[in-house]
């Protein structure tokens, strides 16, 4: 399974406010940032429960008929109309094996702690990060603390009239195995 991330952050690296709020993200749909093309490049999605609940309650299901695997031990209830949703649990490696068995070769990994877990497990190969020109000071960090460095290779950077800057990276090396030190 090849894992990819497509995410927006504040310039100071937060994907949401501490309370989960996303009010700092742009809502103007007049400018395409490549999400539709990105979504077309994946076979399915893995997301955390909080992300699923947020998207399911938003009134718009963005993922069409792509299978969505939600990391949770709790019942999901009735999925949004037209959604293909399955509850899964286990380590990122367990979930990756399940996706491989299901024929999911390219997966969109979404949700703060889910991205962090899959990145630490070496299961993310592509990162597309769109920085919003705003500083929010605190919130939910995209990457969180890392025990080891993760090497990235820059692929491309695009800028938009709105001021957004989007950079794409490939993971060039898994965690080094050496602690960065104090």
- The C-alpha atoms of residue 167 and residue 142 are separated, in whole angstroms, by 14
How does strand 140-141 pair with strand 14-16? Answer: antiparallel
Q: What digits encode the pLDDT tens for the residues 113-167?
A: 999 999 999 999 999 999 999 999 999 999 888 888 889 999 999 999 999 999 9
- The C-alpha atoms of residue 127 and residue 169 are separated, in whole angstroms, by 5
Q: What digits encode the pLDDT tens for the residues 47-99?
A: 999 999 989 988 888 899 999 999 999 999 899 998 999 999 999 999 999 99
Burial of 126 (0-12, 13-18, 19+ CB in 10 A): buried
Which pTM does this prediction carry?
0.90
| Of the candidates 83, 40, 39, the residue with the CA atom closest to the CA atom of residue 59 | 83
Domain residue extents for the chain:
45-161
What fold characterizes domain 45-161?
Dihydrofolate Reductase, subunit A (3.40.430)
């Amino acid at each position: 399974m090849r894992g990819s991330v497509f995410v927006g952050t504040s310039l100071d690296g937060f994907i949401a406010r501490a309370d989960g709020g996303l009010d700092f993200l742009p809502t103007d749909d007049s400018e395409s940032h490549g999400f539709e093309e990105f979504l077309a490049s994946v076979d399915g999605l893995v997301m955390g429960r909080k992300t699923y609940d947020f998207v399911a309650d938003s009134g718009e299901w963005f993922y069409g008929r792509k299978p969505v695997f939600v990391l949770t031990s709790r019942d999901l209830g009735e999925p949004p109309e037209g959604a293909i949703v399955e509850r899964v649990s286990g380590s990122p490696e367990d979930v990756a094996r399940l996706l491989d068995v299901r024929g999911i070769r390219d997966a969109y990994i979404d949700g703060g702690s889910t991205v962090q877990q899959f990145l630490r497990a070496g299961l993310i190969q592509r990162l597309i990060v769109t920085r919003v020109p705003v500083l929010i000071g605190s919130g939910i960090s995209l990457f969180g603390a890392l025990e080891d460095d993760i090497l990235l290779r820059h692929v491309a950077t695009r800028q938009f009239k709105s001021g957004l800057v989007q950079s794409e990276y490939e993971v060039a090396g898994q965690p080094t195995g050496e602690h960065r030190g104090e």
